Structure 1
Amino acid sequence: MFYRVLLARETFHRVNRVVLLATAVASFVLPLCVITLHKTVVVESAPSVSFGALEAVADISSDAGMYPLWQSVAIVLFFIGMAATLGHTLWSLFRIVKLIKHSQKYPQSDGTVICVTGNPDLAPFSWMHYIVMNRSDYLANDAAILTHERGHIRYHHSWDLLFVDTLTALQWFNPAIWMLRSDLRAIHEYEADGAVLSQGINARQYQYLLITKAASIGGYSLANGISHSTLKNRINMMLHTKSPRRSLLKLLALLPIIGAVLAVNAETVTDYEYTRPQKQMPIKKGRKNTVINIGGKKVLQIVETAEKKSEIAEPPAIEETVEPTSGKTYDVAEQMPQFPGGASKLFEYLASNIQYPAEAENANIQGRVIVSFVVEKDGRVSEPQVKKSVAPSLDAEALRVVGSMPKWIPGRQDGEAVRVKYTVPLNFRLQYGPSKDALAEKLVAYAAGYEAGRKGLNEQRSERPLIYVDGKEMTLEEVGKLDPKSIDHMNVLKEKTAIEKYGEKAKDGVILITTKK
């Protein structure tokens, strides 16, 4: 309740994540922290009445080990529910592992692995260092999808889900743990969304992507997916103003909350002391009446706070009306501009017209350049600007290709053509296929021991880099037997990056080869 009332609408996602995880741990630890207050009562010894009462108390205590029927049934139900919840988690984990195992894997230079599956209805999701998506999403090579899932992986969200789902199995009967689980998954999506927007990707286009993917089929409770969580809350959080640092002072409210919890669990122990030494029989019997009364008031206050929270938990739907103005540039229009033939033709045009700058190719510079531009009322492309830069030569080539695009189908607002801003990612990746296999031939020749290969790849060097083909380390002899035309693309990891990923054995660099499947 503390989180939902005070922190849920703040943009301190990392802090909120820590608060929820700490709350899950505290739910098991705090009940064990019992403050014991001792109270001594002096009683005059009455030969028959007092000892009779004490004997009666002793008799009741001796029967305390006998469980009533309802308690036995409750214990059985608890273990049945725990087994069912844990079984569901394990089943979800099994499905994820099976799906990853039977998918086509494409290792990435950042350590992630893209797993491509044939299920066209599968929404993209991530698990540990794997990104799972269907083939159409993989071929689209959407920057927003990949950045979103890499955000989940970078923040280690999979470990959070494993931890909280395990605790959920132990408290399956408790609605609060399910609320906490839902809130934690929402924070995961906020963090991943923030990673996307930090890369310069247009927020409006990304929100439309979320709406498109929201209808996709997921079904993996342990996975982080791009369409997961409440879509309206995610869009609201993207539009939310960044919280001021003074809002962190709300964390101080945890102190009285923890104090109230400890007070509810406090126990008063009464020590009975008799005036006659020969008759003294100290009896300890826990009493919590006063504390229970205080705790009851606290619970009532929490319930009232929860009702207030429920009134704001569902923010009103966002309705944005834009009055058309002559010459105004729209970030989003009722009918967005479209490249002739659609998105597939757009990326086909970009791929066929990009000329890899020799300077960048020789320096093995690769990356994704994000370019924004305006589609004019007549469909012309104007005002291209680099939103995310990689290198000057690649930026210049991206601007050239975007500026030379043919006329688009213009966007429309209220039936009239308008100027609309658009953003396109251009992926520069060195590829060596059948039409560009010179370096591949040199590599194979080098591996086979030919002089031409040694001059082409290892001039003035005696070191020998590691070579991985489709993720498997190969010897020079094995690489020399490859057909150069079977190589799809190659990546070269230099010394520092290679050592970080593969250890000291990669001090002379690593060549990553991916063959055609």
Structure 2
Amino acid sequence: MKKVVFIMLAICICLLAIGQNDTPKVSIDEVAISPPAFTGIKNYVDFATVDANYLQQYLTANIEYPEEAQRCSSEGTEVIKFNVNARGEVTDIDIVNGVCPEIDKELVRVLESTNGMWKPGIKDGIPVSMEQEVSIVFSLSGNAEQTHEKFVTIATTCFSKGAECFFEKGKAKRAEQLFTRGMTYMPHDQSLLLMRGLCRYERGNHEGAREDWTRLVELGSTVDMNSDFFVQIEGWEAYEALTAILEGK
């Protein structure tokens, strides 16, 4: 099996997910937080020399670009969440944005192989469970700049066609498909998340819509609620649901 042709890696540590019930609760006045650290060595004890690049190096060395995915020219940005518990174990692996089932399976395999290689996150001196998020770009081109340009072009085209389908043609199902395809390449694009959520809401999938809009908030929404878009949908039932989430109600 061929090695990954090209991987770009981004790691996001979600500090809001701390304090899950792996350790007893304590009463504290000030909180000092240290995120989980990847050591790259099973049952590693001396954490003083942990390098922030260890995880990137490990994933780059161990992830394989599945042959079936290559044959199908499957490309995109895989986003995966997982917890590192108070014992340094990897748990609750969740695919946030999948490129294809073969790549999903490969990412889960490699992340599971890191079990026991983590220094747990620390909250005020006590090991706690923390959530991490990893984004990995799978591309057949092998060139970071070309890949980025290609992915942006595809996502932009999907957004434009999706907006046309939704607002001008009233085809919410087709629009949702286009926004989803765009997110395969640019899963953190807030416009795609916003519009896919709107399509889902209008099609009766209110839970899916709220998931997209909540994700928007998690990413640090920069949506302008005074924009023409919000004026256009004002009065819709979806408008009330969307603004409530963006305003934290």
**Higher helix share goes to which structure?**
1
TM over 0.5: no
Name the larger-Rg structure. 1
Q: Which has the higher contact order (CA 8 A, sep 6+)?
A: 2
| TM-score interval (norm. to shorter) | 0.3 to 0.5
